[in-house]
Amino acid sequence: MSSQSHTAQHEYLSKRRDVTTSFGYGLSRRTQMALEAVDRFAPSAGPLRAVDFGCADGAMLSALAQRLGARFEGGTGLDVFRSGVPDDDPVTRIAYRESNLFRDYPFPLEAGAFDIAIASAFIKHHPDPARFLSEVARCLGIGGIVVLMDPRPFVVKIGFRFSRFNPAYNPSLWSRNSVQSLLADHPTIGLTMLDYRRYWIAPTYSIYRLGVEKAMPSFLRNAIALHQCMVLVK
């Protein structure tokens, strides 16, 4: 890889990990929600293995490994595109693979191999959520959890109007009701909803740092929340 490519990757990763940037701030908030969901609902006994669908640079798996400590037995990050970043991490036993999660079935994962599955800002891109969730469930052991995070549908639809989101790449907007209906229509998936929460991402990190979100009454925070987090269990 050329030095120019390395420099570009370094700049990209710096922005992505820097919570003060809009990119890094959004990732930080999603990671926070995922870790809170794992704290509440992950199996309480034994070591845990995790898989991240749409893992990008691996930030969420790295944060999860740090949070779980000795209980983290390793994980796998899958993404449609593999740019060479990140490298596999032998210390935390995290491996990264390129896989077309939109078309390649079954996913290159052993059945029942994982306790935690994460899909952060990913499922809205998938053309067949039922098949995707079926594959996620296949990879989980009994009692394993799935953490789904995405903007709420109205946020993406507003983004369509202002060219922030491309409809061609966001065919599967979802909500609590739509996922519950999908699971009811496809009982063989074998997943059940455990929890659903909305959370607000302020326009900038500086606003979030002021504590505006925490100070809001819960009904108002829930009404204007831009993002959503759902936890399913097998």
The residue whose two tokens read 């995070």 is: 149
Domain for residue 109, yes or no? yes
Which SS3 state, helix, strand or coil, does residue 102 take?
coil
CA distance 170 to 153: 10
In a domain, 9, yes or no: no
Q: Is residue 16 situated within a structural domain? A: no
Other C-beta atoms lying within 10 Å of the C-beta of residue 124: 20
pTM attached to this predicted model: 0.90
Q: Is residue 122 part of a domain?
A: yes
pLDDT the model gives residue 225: 93
- Report if residue 49 sits inside a domain: yes
Over residues 74-109, the pLDDT tens digits come to 999 999 876 555 788 899 999 999 899 998 899 999
Cα-Cα-Cα-Cα dihedral of 58, 172, 155, 78, to 10°?
A: 0
What is residue 85's predicted lDDT score, i.e. its pLDDT?
Answer: 58
Q: Which residue type does 208 have?
A: Y
* 3-state helix, strand and coil shares in percent for the chain, rounded to the nearest 5: 45, 25, 35
Residue 84 lies in a domain: yes
Interior angle at CA 138, CA 134 and CA 139, nearest 5: 120
Residue 188 lies in a domain: yes
Here the CATH number for the domain that contains residue 157 is: 3.40.50.150
Residues in the chain, pLDDT under 50: 1
* Cβ neighbours of residue 98 closer than 8 Å, sequence gap 6 or more: 78, 79, 80, 81, 82
What is the sign of the dihedral through the CA atoms of 159, 162, 168 and 169? negative
pLDDT number for residue 9: 55
Q: For the chain, what is the domain count? A: 1
> b or e along 127-151 (b: 16 or more beta carbons within 10 Å of the residue's beta carbon)?
eebeebbbbbbbbbeeebbbbbbbb
DSSP calls for 110-163 = -TT-EEEEEEES-GGG-S-HHHHHHHHHHHEEEEEEEEEEEE-HHHHHHHHHTT
In a domain, 209, yes or no: yes
The domain in which residue 64 lies consists of 24-233
